[in-house]
Each structure stands twice: as C-alpha cells, then as structure tokens.
Amino acid sequence: MNASTAAEWRPDPLLTIDDVATWLGKPKNTLYAWHSRGKGPRAIRVGNTLRYRRSEVDRWLDAHTDPEH
C-alpha cells in the first residue's frame, strides 16, 4: 500500500444493532432472531454485542431487492 492509498483508505463502518434496526425498520429482537438462524445481514460478534459492516447490510439489501419488471 503506498502513501496515497493509505491516506485514502477508510474502514467500513461497524454499525450497532440499534443502527441496523432503525435502518431496516425492524425490532432488535428480529435481528437477534435472524442472526441465531443464520438469516439477515451477516454480523460480527464483538465481545457480547453484534456489529454489522455497512457494506454487508447493503449487500444483503441488494440480494433481497425485488427484480425490476
């Protein structure tokens, strides 16, 4: 990685379950249930909390978007 690339790189924001629940309009309990069943956006366990990469939520939304007619 050269100096200009290092200066431009930004980490993918980690969102809290509250952030994602608000974004998706779903209760937190739904996100916890999805996670335990292997559904919903992929999450990362950080200690005893779940975090979501913004890009993973975007990817999940894209995968669940109805096709254009």
d(CA 10, CA 24): 24
- Model confidence over 30-53: pLDDT tens digits? 999 999 999 999 999 999 999 999
* CATH annotation of 10-63: 3.90.105
E-strand ranges in the chain read 14-16, 44-46, 49-53
Q: Locate the domains of the chain by residue range.
A: 10-63
Of the candidates 41, 55, 52, the residue with the CA atom closest to the CA atom of residue 15: 52
Residues comprising the chain, all counted? 69
What is the reported pLDDT for 12? Answer: 85
The pTM for the full model equals 0.78
What is the reported pLDDT for 68? Answer: 80
What is the reported pLDDT for 14? Answer: 94
CA atoms within 13 A on the CB side of 31: 24
Integer angstrom CA distances of residue 13 from 20, 40, 50, 58: 12, 18, 13, 12
- Model confidence over 17-31: pLDDT tens digits? 999 999 999 999 999
